[in-house]
Amino acid sequence: MTATTTDKKTELVIIDYEDLTSSSSSAKMAACCDRAFGDDGIGIMGIRKVPGFVQAKANILQQAHPLAHLPPNDLQKLEDPDSMFNAGWSHGKEMLKAGKPDLAKGSFYFNPIIDVPDPKDTEEYPVSYPINRWPKESLPNLEPAAKHLGTMMKEVAILLCGHIDTYAQSKNPEYPPGVIKDALIDTEKVKGRLLYYFPLPEEESKEAPAEDSWIGWHNDSGFLTALAGDIYMDKEGNIITPPASSEAGLQVVTRHGTVQKVEIPPDVMAIQIGECTQIMTGGAVVATPHCVKGAPNLARASLACFVDVPPSTPLTLPKGSTPASIMAMESSKVPTLQGRWENGMTFGQFLQKTFEAYYNQ
């Protein structure tokens, strides 16, 4: 078993997959959770040596460029307005500040667990339970690659849940056992998001790109987000290595208020804390504001997998904690929880409040 490592610049804590599954690693995992998710962490933990991950990642990310450059008619067939574009292809549908459409990236959404949810769930919650749309003819390998990696990422996130619960209990003796693991272990509310970030337009290339030029500052509002890292390409889709001086990629705000770039090594899957886990652990683990900085002449592909609960699930504080305990580490980069969350409100209600808060900034 290799030693846990921490990149000095980014403070990314990296463990081995074996640490998640071995009962002899409990003490080590408690320390790692503290360093990754606690008061001095960045809300992200890396996992190395996940069986089959490196090849699965390559199989899906290399398809982002051809997907984003399909003929417009083909892309339109992959759109799903009924789910507010939360299934299939979405480009220019999200709005940025000042009401401008977000053209910097294209997204392909899918559920890796089920293609067709229960019709009752889809009728009641069309945004949360859409039906998958796949480019079966134009990109036949996308569906199996997306389902394979998405399922793998969900399973790794579930393995981490028990360690998060154990860590939360160490911070609060009244914390009930298994809160996060029990909430997520059988969930079908899983959303993969394959992202393709277009090279910045020429007019933006003349000046230094804004720190949030590809994705604006935000917290993940759900429970856990698994990250596959990224690859970079030129305009023709050839995979390239960015210059060492490039600041393109994931940026986070540390607990001390500084902005840092986070490098996720190519062989590492990462798990990021969402605000709902912050709430339900009473602030034992904390979500971190993050954005993605763009670059001229560079395209980026990445995959995130959001592991959440049904919209009707209540978000309640554990015994022994207070609202103040979950808001102690808030950042001015993102809307505060105080205006979006009330104890006992449902996950769906919280998402709606969060949507309104970000779009009304």
> What pLDDT shows up at residue 2?
43
User: Is 202 a residue whose pLDDT tops 70?
Assistant: no
What is the percentage of the chain residues whose pLDDT exceeds 90?
67
C-alpha distances out from residue 85 to 135, 282, 332, Å: 15, 32, 29
> What pLDDT shows up at residue 360?
60
Write down the pTM of the prediction: 0.91
Instruction: Please write the tens of the pLDDT for every residue from 220-273.
Output: 999 999 999 999 999 899 999 877 667 788 999 888 888 889 999 999 999 999
Tell me which of 80-89, 196-205, 278-287, 288-297 is least confident: 196-205
Instruction: Please write the tens of the pLDDT for every residue from 157-195.
Output: 999 999 999 999 999 999 999 999 999 999 999 999 999
Indicate the residue type of 312: S
- The encoded tokens of residue 156 equal 């790794």
**What is the C-alpha separation between 220 and 20, in angstroms, rounded?**
23
> What pLDDT shows up at residue 5?
43
Greater confidence (328 vs 336) lies with 336
Instruction: Please write the tens of the pLDDT for every residue from 274-314.
Output: 999 999 999 999 998 999 888 788 899 999 999 999 999 99
Q: Cα(first)–Cα(last) distance of the chain, in Å?
A: 47
User: Is 1 a residue whose pLDDT tops 60?
Assistant: no
Specify the CATH architecture of the domain 5-359. Sandwich (2.60)
> What pLDDT shows up at residue 189?
96
**What is the C-alpha separation between 96 and 100, in angstroms, rounded?**
5
- Can you give the residue ranges of every domain in the chain? 5-359
Greater confidence (5 vs 214) lies with 214
- As a whole number, mean pLDDT of residues 136-155 equals 98
> What pLDDT shows up at residue 6?
43
Beta bridge partners of 268: 48
- As a whole number, mean pLDDT of residues 12-39 equals 92
Mean pLDDT of the chain: 89
